Amino acid sequence: FWQDTRLVVPNDVSLREALLTEAYSSPFSVLPGFTKMYHDLKQYFWWSGMKVDVATFVARCLICQQVKIEHQRASGLLQ
pTM of the model as a whole: 0.74
The reply to whether 78 falls in a domain is: no
* Cα 44 to Cα 68: distance, rounded to the nearest angstrom: 27
User: Does residue 77 form part of some domain?
Assistant: no
Residue ranges of the chain whose pLDDT lies below 70: 27-31, 64-79
pLDDT at position 26 is 74
Please report whether residue 26 resides in a domain. yes
Q: Is residue 14 part of a domain?
A: yes
User: Domain span at residue 8?
Assistant: 2-71
Counting the structural domains of the chain, the total is: 1
pLDDT at 3: 87
